[in-house]
Chains A and B, each alone.
Chain A
Amino acid sequence: MSKITEKKLAQRDIQFILGTLLRVGVILSMSVVLIGGIIYLIGYQGLNVDYSEFVPDAKYASLEAIVAGLKEMDGKAIIQFGTILLIFTPITRVVFSVFGFLIERDYLYVMIGLFVLAVILFSLSNKLVG
């Protein structure tokens, strides 16, 4: 097989993998959100909500806190966990794209992909919110 067709095939595989990854990520995370939503509605149904003023509630604002809440089967924590899975779906997509470019030996785009990841990781490190 010539080099060019090999490259084309690799590109197709990557496209297929990226597409499948995105779909599976969305379905998985939304299932978790739905399950959490049902538990939340059962557990909190009698309560009243008031969102008229933004009061920063740091209860489920970090991964550690959400995992702790999961152990107590708190609906809110399960929803947040699903949300985190959803946030990680496109981030994982970037990771896979970097591998794809690595296979294609396109090092310029490996660097670009890693840079985008670094930007997101910096945001994840929670240094930006005072």
Chain B
Amino acid sequence: MSVLLFTVIVLAGAFLAGLVGSLTGLGGGVIIIPLLTLVLGVDIHYAIGASIVSVIATSSGSAAAYVKEGITNIRIGMFLEIATTISAIFGAVITIFINPSYIAVVFGLILLFSAAMMVRKKVDHSDVDTTGKLAGFFKLNGSYPTAEGVKYYGVHNVVGGFVMMFFAGIISGLLGIGSGALKVLAMDNIMRLPFKVSTTTSNFMMGVTAAASAVVYLHRGQIDPGIAMPVTVGVLCGATIGSKILVKTNTDKLKVIFAGVVVFLALQMIYNGLAGNL
């Protein structure tokens, strides 16, 4: 395939991945990697390297807005980054020693999990109980502005959240994705943060986590400019436009339709992984 044709196809695919990823909250990485590997026959190691760069771009871009609004809990973010940076580097170091087929299978399983997380009914577990000892010591309890005034919240099960974040970091480094679904699970269900705080803080952390593993990929030559360029530009443009549309539309129906697509991609990844095609 010629350089120009490859760039144009990847650019278009990455744009779509960014658009849909931002509308559904999945993120661009989980969609662009199956596109590159299944459709264009790109080696999964290159796809992972390109995807992680796009994760840094999109998460930093959207985190910029949230941080200014004061919703992001910077302390929780920094505290949990201890877990995610170490584990992301670990994941990025070991990924090269793992058979690409197994990576594809793990990727498929994470895709299935993300699809389930996307369509599940969200229950807000947050409360104002700030008696947690570790949460108090690390000053994690916080507040955020809402239309009805400042809302306070307490943080629970810090150890559980930290361990879950460690796992999320390994997956992020291993597969080159933001693993937002796992991070939000750790913050929503385990640490019991309000949705707005968990999603924005997860976004805030993603940039640093991805940067930590991106350095490993760069040294290894997994970030190829010819793939990383169209992927990053496309995903960022798609995600930016997606976030503009998002404010105006109800995405519930889209999420259900899209969950179907993600399940299909997941099964393809698992099948091709098991068959040794990747």
Given A79-B225, A113-B78, residue A87 in contact with residue B232 (CB < 8 A): no
Given A41-B7, A106-B139, residue A22 in contact with residue B215 (CB < 8 A): no
Q: Indicate if the CB atoms of A26 and B211 lie closer than 8 Å.
A: no
**Residues in B77-117 with C-beta less than 8 Å from chain A:** 78-79, 81-82, 85-86, 89, 93
Is the C-beta of B160 less than 8 angstroms from some C-beta in chain A?
Answer: no
Q: How far is it, in angstroms, between the C-alpha of A18 and the C-alpha of B229 when the chains are bound?
A: 25
Q: Indicate if the CB atoms of A51 and B211 lie closer than 8 Å.
A: no
What are some 17 contacts across the A-B interface (CB < 8 A)?
A16-B68, A20-B68, A36-B229, A45-B4, A46-B3, A48-B1, A49-B1, A51-B46, A51-B224, A58-B221, A62-B219, A75-B225, A83-B223, A89-B56, A94-B208, A109-B78, A128-B89
Q: Indicate if the CB atoms of B223 and A80 lie closer than 8 Å.
A: yes
List 7 A-B pairs, minimum CB-CB distance, nearest first. A90-B207, A19-B68, A79-B225, A22-B64, A54-B45, A23-B64, A54-B43
Given A89-B56, A112-B79, residue A15 in contact with residue B42 (CB < 8 A): no
Q: What 1/0 mask marks residues of chain A from 74 to 88 whose CB sits below 8 Å from any chain B CB?
A: 011101100110111
Is the C-beta of B226 less than 8 angstroms from some C-beta in chain A?
Answer: yes
Q: Indicate if the CB atoms of A36 and B225 lie closer than 8 Å.
A: yes
Q: Indicate if the CB atoms of A41 and B3 lie closer than 8 Å.
A: yes
- Identify the closest chain A residue to B230 (Cβ): A37
Q: Indicate if the CB atoms of A116 and B218 lie closer than 8 Å.
A: no
Q: How far is it, in angstroms, between the C-alpha of A29 and the C-alpha of B93 when the chains are bound?
A: 25
**Residues in A52-71 with C-beta less than 8 Å from chain B:** 52-54, 56-62
Q: Indicate if the CB atoms of B63 and A22 lie closer than 8 Å.
A: yes
Query: In the assembled complex, which residues on chain A have CB atoms less than 8 Å from the CB atom of B229?
Result: 33, 36-37, 40, 79
Q: How far is it, in angstroms, between the C-alpha of A37 and the C-alpha of B4 when the chains are bound?
A: 11
Q: Indicate if the CB atoms of B85 and A120 lie closer than 8 Å.
A: yes
Is the C-beta of A10 less than 8 angstroms from some C-beta in chain B?
Answer: no
Q: Indicate if the CB atoms of B207 and A83 lie closer than 8 Å.
A: no
Q: Indicate if the CB atoms of B46 and A30 lie closer than 8 Å.
A: no
Residues of A in contact (CB 8 Å), total 69
Given A22-B67, A51-B224, residue A119 in contact with residue B89 (CB < 8 A): yes
* Inter-chain CB contacts under 8 Å: number: 196
Q: How far is it, in angstroms, between the C-alpha of A86 and the C-alpha of B207 when the chains are bound?
A: 9
Is the C-beta of B187 less than 8 angstroms from some C-beta in chain A?
Answer: no
- Identify the closest chain B residue to A18 (Cβ): B67
Q: Nearest Cβ distance between residue B193 and chain A, in whole angstroms?
A: 18
Given A40-B226, A51-B227, 9 other A-B contacts at CB below 8 A?
Answer: A15-B68, A41-B3, A56-B220, A89-B56, A90-B59, A91-B208, A116-B81, A119-B89, A128-B93
Q: Indicate if the CB atoms of B2 and A46 lie closer than 8 Å.
A: yes
Q: Indicate if the CB atoms of B230 and A129 lie closer than 8 Å.
A: no
Q: Nearest Cβ distance between residue A69 and chain B, in whole angstroms?
A: 10
Query: In the assembled complex, which residues on chain A have CB atoms less than 8 Å from the CB atom of B72?
Result: 15
Q: Nearest Cβ distance between residue B173 and chain A, in whole angstroms?
A: 10
Q: What 1/0 mask marks residues of chain A from 5 to 44 whose CB sits below 8 Å from any chain B CB?
A: 0000000101110111011011001100110110011001
Q: Nearest Cβ distance between residue A4 and chain B, in whole angstroms?
A: 14
Is the C-beta of A2 less than 8 angstroms from some C-beta in chain B?
Answer: no
Q: How far is it, in angstroms, between the C-alpha of A90 and the C-alpha of B7 when the chains are bound?
A: 27
Q: Indicate if the CB atoms of B43 and A53 lie closer than 8 Å.
A: yes
- Identify the closest chain B residue to A112 (Cβ): B78
Is the C-beta of B244 less than 8 angstroms from some C-beta in chain A?
Answer: no
Query: In the assembled complex, which residues on chain B have CB atoms less than 8 Å from the CB atom of A40?
Result: 3, 225-226, 229
Q: Indicate if the CB atoms of B56 and A120 lie closer than 8 Å.
A: no
Q: Indicate if the CB atoms of B43 and A116 lie closer than 8 Å.
A: no
Q: How far is it, in angstroms, between the C-alpha of A30 and the C-alpha of B72 when the chains are bound?
A: 24
Is the C-beta of B196 less than 8 angstroms from some C-beta in chain A?
Answer: no
Q: Indicate if the CB atoms of B2 and A90 lie closer than 8 Å.
A: no
Is the C-beta of A99 less than 8 angstroms from some C-beta in chain B?
Answer: no
